[in-house]
Amino acid sequence: MKKAAVIGGSGYGAGEIIRRLLLHPEVELTRVASIDYVGELLCTAHPNLEGLSELRFENLPPEQAADGMDVVLLGLPHTVSSAFVPRLLDSGATIIDLSGDFRLDDVAAYERYYQTVHPCPELLDQAVYGLPELNRAAIAKARIVASPGCFATATALGMLPLAR
């Protein structure tokens, strides 16, 4: 059984990840960190989770949230995730980032498209674009997985047969 934590658990994307983790037969969702809803049941922010978990939101530093975890999922806003990732690497957990912070491996492209400086460009080449149809083998070995966005996924999957 893999142990998982979610950091930034009060948003919409994190709510869907939490729901899927709670239903996954090989994952134990152990903690959900958030600066919102601290001490409240997960269903306070995500009513669809009512009755699925007795977990409560905790206000934890990233290192503490990741302690003992096999995987840490970041449901944090864009540019916030990249500030957390360096603090999580020593935990040994696989990090899955739902934001766009690690989707591009080129610093110049990142700065051009996101119009901000990446806080840890030295980690971009360690991240794997998390679309299994394209990168299944690399994802299995990655320490940082960049979750693709919904529009990019739809476009990539639609174009994949043509590209191949």
Cα separation of 99 and 77, whole Å? 6
Q: Confidence band (pLDDT; 50, 70, 90) for 30?
A: very high
Under 8 Å CB-to-CB from 52, ≥6 apart: which residues? Answer: 19, 22, 23, 42, 43
Which residues are 144's β-sheet partners?
95, 127
> What is the model's pLDDT at position 158?
85
Cα separation of 155 and 143, whole Å? 25
Average pLDDT over residues 129-152: 91
User: Torsion-angle region of residue 92: left (phi > 0), alpha (psi -120 to 50) or beta?
Assistant: left
Q: Confidence band (pLDDT; 50, 70, 90) for 15?
A: very high
Render pLDDT for 72-120 as a digit per residue (tens, 0 to 9): 999 999 889 999 999 999 999 999 999 999 999 899 999 998 899 998 9
- Catalytic residue set: 150
Say if pTM beats, i.e. exceeds, 0.85.
yes
Q: Confidence band (pLDDT; 50, 70, 90) for 37?
A: very high
- DSSP for the chain, written as a single string: -EEEEEESTTSHHHHHHHHHHHH-TTEEEEEEE-SSSTTSBGGGT-GGGTTT---BEE---HHHHHTT-SEEEE-PPTTTHHHHHHHHGGG--EEEE-SSTTS---HHHHHHHH-S--S-GGGGGGEEE--HHHHHHHHHH-SEEEPPPHHHHHHHHHHHHHH-
- Asked if 101 contacts 77 with a C-beta cutoff of 8 angstroms, the reply is no
> What is the model's pLDDT at position 59?
98
User: Which tokens go with 9?
Assistant: 């658990």
Q: Is pLDDT of 18 > 80?
A: yes
How high is the mean pLDDT of the chain?
93
